[in-house]
Amino acid sequence: MEMLSTPFLPARDKHPKHYMNCLHNLDDTTMINHRERQALVAILSYTTNPELLKGFKLLNCDDLRELALFSIDSLWNIHILDKQRGREHLRLTYDEFNKMPEMPLSTDTLRSLGITNLLPERPTGLTKLSPDHTPTEREADICMVTGTPQNGKGSITWLFPYYTLDFTRSYNLLIWVFLVIFLGEDMRDHLARELISEEEGVRTLANGIHMDLCRRWDFDVGDIGLIPYRRPRKNPNYLDVKFVRYTANWRTGRLLANYPKDPEEQYAFNKDGTGTRVQAEEPHTLEDGDIIRIGSALKNTPLPSSLLLFWHQHLWRVASIAGVIVDDEYEDYGFEATTTEYPEASELSKQRKALEDERVLRWYQAGVEIEIGRAERQKEACGIQEAVKSLRNQYAEY
């Protein structure tokens, strides 16, 4: 049995002196907003690029602000993109031309961070976008997290948004520029090779997992995760992952699994290495730290990539510390924890849209209150009454 560990090792572990110097340097830097400082601490803490730690002192205040804002937008785009439909909900809105957009840092600064190749190599003449089978067929239309048959109502969640490999779109280029700054060229190339190859094309089987719609949402917003734990050195072909709850909300604490709790009893394997998920007589509550076994109903079919699963873990670590994720954004979107009924995809999209609209309205209302408060203080200090009256009339409907 091979025990698995993440390859995304923070550079601070091997270069603690450079890491501490970066934090001291950041402490002494002024004219940086609090959120920007928070994002820089997250990037420094989880970067796998040692050259970023070594070259951080070369960045001036303007460079640091550009890097912070660029990191916040890139982390948001990577995690919020609907991994099947593409560009919807993108925060960045760059022109879609086959050219490199304006870089957040100068070429000399990027070179000082050890970066010479901004983009990974891609196979030429690529036309094959998917293999002969899908993650849904591999998991026999059963949710990989709960073990519940989906009857065609499940969905595929992508560990990494594979359409970012389309370099004709400039916003995709910017995501890969962020990745090379954050990960370094070697780890960036390692990640890219796991997503695409000359022989297989875009590796959708390695990148996809079949889940019910509710669990897909939990996974995509970082409420739950699957961390590779171990795999056998020979047949049968399976991967054991550790189920983790990144947040402590009520939804992920009520999940029921329709397979035995012992991973050794979760699959019935055939001589050819294929397996069938065993259905338990009574479902059990899925706890943080439980082991889930992932097998395949198809012969010679790749399992989800352990590297991409580790990437998902690494992404949520840095995104949460950077302040990109807001917990109350996902607390009450109305899904009941169940193993039998799930909302249709269209209904799920409506609920997501309603939540986003509600959040935007709350932020707008808060801004209105701030502006009214400012006007009231101005009235008290200067006796300007018309400003308050004008603002109240302007925002009366809110």
How far, in Å, CA of 228 to CA of 309, rounded? 7
- Is 213 in contact with 348 (CB distance < 8 Å)? yes
Q: Where in the chain are the domains?
A: 2-123+130-342, 354-394
E strand or H helix at 77 = helix 61-80
- Is 90 in contact with 81 (CB distance < 8 Å)? yes
User: Which pLDDT belongs to residue 64?
Assistant: 92
How far, in Å, CA of 124 to CA of 201, rounded? 10
pLDDT digits (tens, 9 = 90+) for 40-82: 999 999 999 999 999 999 899 989 998 998 898 888 878 655 4
- Torsion angle defined by CA atoms of residues 218, 224, 225 and 229, in that order, rounded to the nearest 10 degrees: -140
List, for the chain, all residue ranges whose pLDDT scores fall below the cut of 70.
79-102, 123-132, 326-398
**72-91 CB burial, b ≥16 within 10 A, e <16:** bbbbbbbbbbebbeeeeeee
User: Which pLDDT belongs to residue 174?
Assistant: 84
Cα 320 to chain centroid distance, Å, stands at: 10
What the block records as the tokens of 276 is 């069938």
User: Which pLDDT belongs to residue 289?
Assistant: 95
- Is 19 in contact with 47 (CB distance < 8 Å)? no
Q: What is the β-pairing status of strands 284-285 and 224-231? A: unpaired
User: What residues have CB less than 8 Å from 14, skipping those under 6 apart?
Assistant: 50
Bond prior to 236 in cis (omega within 30° of 0): yes
How far, in Å, CA of 220 to CA of 213, rounded? 10
- Is 299 in contact with 132 (CB distance < 8 Å)? no
Cα 84 to chain centroid distance, Å, stands at: 14
How far, in Å, CA of 109 to CA of 297, rounded? 50
User: Which pLDDT belongs to residue 169?
Assistant: 72
User: Which pLDDT belongs to residue 348?
Assistant: 52
Q: What phi, psi does 98 have (nearest 5°)?
A: -80, 65
How far, in Å, CA of 262 to CA of 260, rounded? 6
Q: What phi, psi does 151 have (nearest 5°)?
A: 55, 40
246: left (phi > 0), else alpha (psi -120 to 50), else beta?
alpha
| Planar angle of CA 382, 383, 384, nearest 5 degrees | 95
User: Which pLDDT belongs to residue 257?
Assistant: 94
* Sign of the torsion angle spanned by Cα atoms 286, 289, 290, 291: positive
Percentage above 70 pLDDT, the chain: 73
User: Which pLDDT belongs to residue 54?
Assistant: 94
273: left (phi > 0), else alpha (psi -120 to 50), else beta?
left
Which among 119, 145, 50, 134 is positioned nearest to 337, based on CA atoms? 145
Question: Could you say which DSSP state residue 149 is in?
Answer: B
Which among 196, 175, 171, 164 is positioned nearest to 118, based on CA atoms? 175
Q: Which residue is it, tokens 């998920």?
A: 277
